[in-house]
Amino acid sequence: MVINFKAAFWLSVFLACAQPVSAQHLAEAIRVNQVGFYPAAPKVAVVVGAAAGKFYLTTPDLATTVFTGELGPQRYAELSFQQTRTADFSDFKAAGTFVLWIPGLGFSHQFQIRPGVHDAVARAALKGFYYQRASTPLPLAYAGIWSRPLGHSDNQVLVHASAASAQRPVGTVIAAPRGWYDAGDYNKYVVNSGITLGTLFSLYEDFPAYCAGLDTRIPESSNALPDLLDEALWNLRWLKAMQDPSDGGVYHKLTNASFDGMVMPAEARAPRYVVQKSTAAALDFAAVMAQASRVLRKFDRQLPGLADSCLRASTSAWAWARAHPAVYYEQDALNKQFQPAISTGAYGDGDVSDEFIWAAVELYVTTKQDSYYRSVKLFQDAQTPLPSWGQVRTLAYYTLARFGPELTALGRKDLPQLKSRLLALADNLAQGSAMRAYQTVMGKSAADYNWGSNANAANQGVALVQAYRLSGDRKYLQFALTNLDYLLGRNATGYCYVTGCGAQPPQHPHHRPSEADGVREPVPGLLVGGPNPGRQDGCHYPSTLVDMAYDDEVCSYASNEIAINWQAPLVYLAGALETLQTQGGLSPAPKK
């Protein structure tokens, strides 16, 4: 059962009244990773508005103090204008379940210290994708109380006027079943699927052994593939159907004309369309299909022909993009020309130079053909941008770094520059974090907080893990961990931003099934967008301050929606840290 925070608070107050021994109550002011800590890793909580003094690490009943420390110096949280102090209990390394107690303030949510403490988060986050599956019922055996009937079979999808061609005139019916719902809505967008699948495949390429053991109890769990790949295949098979076989072009999205109401998938029966092909869709598709071909190659026996067909799909999408290098998805312009008007997510991007780099690099690494590498300018400027749905250049850098010595001589010659750029990105992200109020990499500047800010936190974590892999320098892992701490509670709102995790998770995500299923608890394992002072939804947020502009209400699609492209880097970050927990000073190695 998920305990509602307010209920827990009043319950604790009530108990305190009933049992005068404990006059202390749950202190909202203590911000801590509500899941927990690795034994040897840094362990920090942040306390808002506390005076100097001692803090105590105790058993949850407050009966036994296991560690006593001094609160750190006062620090000013520049985005939320608050004074904070840290409670640093890194020196305590024993396993168990604990709370922090600060006399006069109260006690924190309880958390664990143990090896493998984030495994459940990684698993829940990957399972989150299962709950997003279209075109299938979710049976009780796999979905528990969130089981639901099939929605969106998507085997009668209409070719929209914007996508009409000689071979597929307007109104042609095609089948494009499966795939994941993008987010709180039920549409399927190629661009956003690109970075999402790319991130999950990268987790597999970076940490195959961990992924092999990552069991999420899905219908395919008993087959020979890791669950992560089975899950990815659910979306990949849909994605393949988004390519027009006659020319290699890829439709930008499969969508309703307008968003569904807050209903269950099975009740959403509006006509579905594939709309306009775009260069961004073709290139993201080409990148992911090339990577999929590489990953699935070793499962040729289980999936005969799939790796080959992915590569063919990739090269024909690449050829289409080269022939149509500037076909952008501009929804307003499209609606002036075609009927019905389309008002769902746009994922519009007017600069596809980064998509060209990503696709070229994935094709190069998979085929070892230098011509792909030569076709783009890898270092087109001095930037190494943090990945997002509209900016995928650095995904190409990750892939090149991953294959380093296996690249052809042409790619190998750029490795030193690549490495220094990726380390510079990590250093730049981490710079100053130890001096900031929350001591997380996330929150360096207000620019971290846009729509889907939690994806920035997770993607920063991924970038830091990449830096660790390249350098072996343990500081990068510890920086990456600060952002997992951020997502799980050490932040200015005190929320653990993953549904069903920690003591204070979101209760009302903008997520149609969670809202419409009649189950009190939201679908678990889903990362919400997080603080976003843009507040494009116009809802009434409890705070408008940059890192506190978060509203745990269904209304708030700009801060409280879930989305696959935020979910994937969370799976990556939690999974990577679980894999690396015995390295880089995160935990002692397990006894042999």
Residues 541-560 as x/- pattern, contact with ligand 9MR by CB under 6 A: ----------------x---
Residue 234 in 3-state DSSP? helix
Q: Which of 185, 247, 448, 515 binds ligand 9MR (CB under 6 A)?
A: 185
Residue type, 129: F
Distance CA 472, CA 460 (A): 17
Angle at 524 between CA 518 and CA 528, to 5 degrees: 100
Q: Which of 88, 119, 154, 182 binds ligand 9MR (CB under 6 A)?
A: 182
Q: Is residue 474 packed enough to be buried (19+ CB in 10 Å), middle (13-18) or exposed (0-12)? A: middle
Least CB distance to ligand 9MR at residue 258 (A): 8
Residues 123-162 as x/- pattern, contact with ligand 9MR by CB under 6 A: ----------------------------------------
Beta strands across the sheet bearing 82-88: 30-31, 44-48, 82-88, 75-77
Structure tokens at 80: 């939320």
- Check binding of 184 to ligand 9MR (CB under 6 A): yes
Q: How far is CA 432 from CA 32, 42, 392, 579, in A?
A: 20, 17, 26, 27
DSSP assignment letter at 422: H
Least CB distance to ligand 9MR at residue 589 (A): 40
Q: Is residue 364 packed enough to be buried (19+ CB in 10 Å), middle (13-18) or exposed (0-12)? A: buried
Considering only CA atoms, which of 243, 255, 244 is closest in space to residue 331? 255
**Which stretches within 207-266 are classed as H helix?**
208-212, 227-240
- Tell how far CA 64 is from the center of its chain: 38
- Check binding of 452 to ligand 9MR (CB under 6 A): yes
Least CB distance to ligand 9MR at residue 393 (A): 17
- Check binding of 42 to ligand 9MR (CB under 6 A): no
Residues 318-347 as x/- pattern, contact with ligand 9MR by CB under 6 A: ---------------------------xx-
Residue type, 363: L
The stretch near ligand 9MR (CB under 6 A) out of 143-151, 182-190, 358-366, 457-465 is: 182-190
DSSP one-letter string for 521-577: SPPTTPBB----TT-TT----S--SGGG----STT-TTTSBBBHHHHHHHHHHHHHH
What torsion do the CA atoms of 409, 413, 418, 421 make, to the nearest 10 degrees? 180
Give, as ranges, the residues between 258 and 277 that touch ligand 9MR (CB under 6 A).
Answer: 259
Phi, psi dihedrals of residue 475, rounded to the nearest 5°: -60, -30
* Residue 109 appears among annotated catalytic residues: no
Which residue in the list 109, 160, 510, 511 is annotated as catalytic?
A: 510
DSSP assignment letter at 589: P
Measured from the CB atom, is 202 or 456 closer to ligand 9MR? 456
Query: What is the maximum alpha-carbon separation in the chain?
Result: 80
Cβ neighbours for 141, distance < 8 A, ≥ 6 positions apart: none
Measured from the CB atom, is 142 or 285 closer to ligand 9MR? 285
Measured from the CB atom, is 314 or 556 closer to ligand 9MR? 556
Distance CA 231, CA 49 (A): 44
Cis bond before residue 590 (omega within 30° of 0): no
- Check binding of 183 to ligand 9MR (CB under 6 A): yes
Least CB distance to ligand 9MR at residue 534 (A): 8
Least CB distance to ligand 9MR at residue 184 (A): 4
Q: Which of 268, 361, 477, 563 binds ligand 9MR (CB under 6 A)?
A: 563
- Check binding of 561 to ligand 9MR (CB under 6 A): yes
- Check binding of 234 to ligand 9MR (CB under 6 A): no
**Element at 174 (helix H, strand E):** strand 173-174
Q: Is residue 111 packed enough to be buried (19+ CB in 10 Å), middle (13-18) or exposed (0-12)? A: buried
DSSP assignment letter at 438: T
Least CB distance to ligand 9MR at residue 498 (A): 16
Least CB distance to ligand 9MR at residue 360 (A): 24
Least CB distance to ligand 9MR at residue 280 (A): 14
Measured from the CB atom, is 502 or 509 closer to ligand 9MR? 509
Least CB distance to ligand 9MR at residue 387 (A): 13
The stretch near ligand 9MR (CB under 6 A) out of 53-61, 177-185, 310-318, 484-492 is: 177-185
DSSP assignment letter at 228: H
Measured from the CB atom, is 25 or 511 closer to ligand 9MR? 511
What torsion do the CA atoms of 346, 545, 562, 288 make, to the nearest 10 degrees? 60
Give, as ranges, the residues between 492 and 511 that touch ligand 9MR (CB under 6 A).
Answer: none
- Check binding of 39 to ligand 9MR (CB under 6 A): no
Query: Is there a contact between 185 and 303 (Cβ–Cβ < 8 Å)?
Result: no
Measured from the CB atom, is 346 or 410 closer to ligand 9MR? 346
Measured from the CB atom, is 43 or 253 closer to ligand 9MR? 253
- Check binding of 451 to ligand 9MR (CB under 6 A): yes
Measured from the CB atom, is 452 or 500 closer to ligand 9MR? 452
Considering only CA atoms, which of 60, 80, 144 is closest in space to residue 523? 144
The stretch near ligand 9MR (CB under 6 A) out of 176-184, 379-387, 456-464, 489-497 is: 176-184
Measured from the CB atom, is 184 or 500 closer to ligand 9MR? 184
Least CB distance to ligand 9MR at residue 192 (A): 7
Structure tokens at 218: 């899905």
Measured from the CB atom, is 9 or 451 closer to ligand 9MR? 451
Cβ neighbours for 591, distance < 8 A, ≥ 6 positions apart: none
Measured from the CB atom, is 67 or 451 closer to ligand 9MR? 451
The stretch near ligand 9MR (CB under 6 A) out of 121-129, 178-186, 230-238, 465-473 is: 178-186
- Check binding of 361 to ligand 9MR (CB under 6 A): no
Least CB distance to ligand 9MR at residue 455 (A): 8
Summarize as ranges the residues that interact with ligand 9MR (CB under 6 A).
182-185, 259, 345-346, 451-452, 557, 561, 563
Residues annotated catalytic, as ranges: 510
